[in-house]
Amino acid sequence: MKKNSINPCKISIIKTISYSSFFGFPLSFYEITNNLISQSKFSEKIIKKNLEELVDAKIIRKAKGRYIIAGIKNVDREKRLKKTSEILEKNKPYLKTIFKIPWIKMISLTGSIANQNADEYADIDLLFITESNRLWICRGLVFTVLKIMGKLPSDKSKREICPNIFMEENNLGWPKKRRNLYVAQNIISMKPYLWRDEEIYFKFIKANNWISKYYPNFIIDFPKEIKKKKQRKNLIMSLIESWAMKIQVSHMRKSITTETVNQKLIHFNKNDSSKRVLSGYKKIYKDTLKKIKRGEAKPPL
């Protein structure tokens, strides 16, 4: 591929596939089109033309109808999909049980399970959206119920269900200082699993419209009108919520490092993978551009 043949669309395609290639995860054409990392929108026709040119130049490799950066070994997506389904099916009763907590408005899957990329060591990362002023009550009850059901072993590496993020319905926007490509990818790949409020997912995406900075092709068909619901005020429950927060924060204080913990958001990210993933993605992307600029054509595996 000639140096002057690099255009904005090819750059976007290479970025998108470089990101997934960090995980060895080949993307379908549909996934590339809808999850394109770009500052501009491109039509399917333009993306397809440029993708085919990158494949012909052996910069991108096509594997079973999906695409990955040439030279990078891909995972078996069918095998990963099967494993994802097995893990979810095994834990479905437990997820349904914790959803009986009345103030939980939505439970969503994140991470490898949401991406259908689970291996044998994968766990189920969960994001909870709760009613206003019920965040800490819900968090306390979730952990209590999981503990009773034997799904919360003291050895965290053995946990199959990980309640990592709790958000209050009136505070759905991601903290500005933590907004980046890694978080944006996790948001677009998030899968609602159980919900009471049919509009809550749309509210979440709307509150995080900053993701369009990275994924302009990620389009959601919003309802014509998203209704604002009146918040219930209950002094006794507010006191219980305050008490629940104090007790739990006191218990967590010794182990808190980079976690976000406040009245409206709980985000456990002690083993934050964002730096590792973004660094790995950038290396693959830059190495691929160097190959193109040198006019190299790597043979397919």
Q: What was the pLDDT predicted at 300?
A: 38
Between these two residues, 227 and 237, which has the higher pLDDT value?
Answer: 237
Average pLDDT of span 167-189: 94
Give the pLDDT of residue 284: 97
Residue among 55, 27, 29 nearest 43 (CA): 29
Q: Are 68 and 26 in contact (CB under 8 A)?
A: yes
The count of other CB atoms within 10 Å of the CB of residue 120 is: 7
Q: Is pLDDT at 272 greater than 90 in this prediction?
A: no
The residue among 174, 52, 162 whose CA lies nearest residue 114 is 162
pLDDT, tens only, 37-92 = 999 999 999 999 999 999 999 999 998 899 999 999 999 999 999 999 999 999 99
pLDDT tens for each residue of 247-256 = 898 887 776 6
Is the distance from CB of 72 to CB of 284 less than 8 angstroms?
A: yes
Domains and CATH numbers, the chain: 3-75+277-293 (1.10.10.10), 77-270 (no CATH)
Element (H, E) at 240: helix 235-252
Share of the chain above pLDDT 70, in %: 91
- What's the full length of the chain, in residues? 301
Angle between helices 274-293 and 8-21 (to 10 degrees): 130
The pLDDT value recorded for residue 251 is 80
Q: What is the pLDDT of residues 111-163, one digit of tens each?
A: 999 999 999 889 999 999 999 999 999 999 999 999 999 998 888 788 899 99
pLDDT classification of 257: cutoffs 50, 70, 90: low
pLDDT confidence tier of residue 259, bands split at 50, 70 and 90: low
pLDDT at position 260 is 77
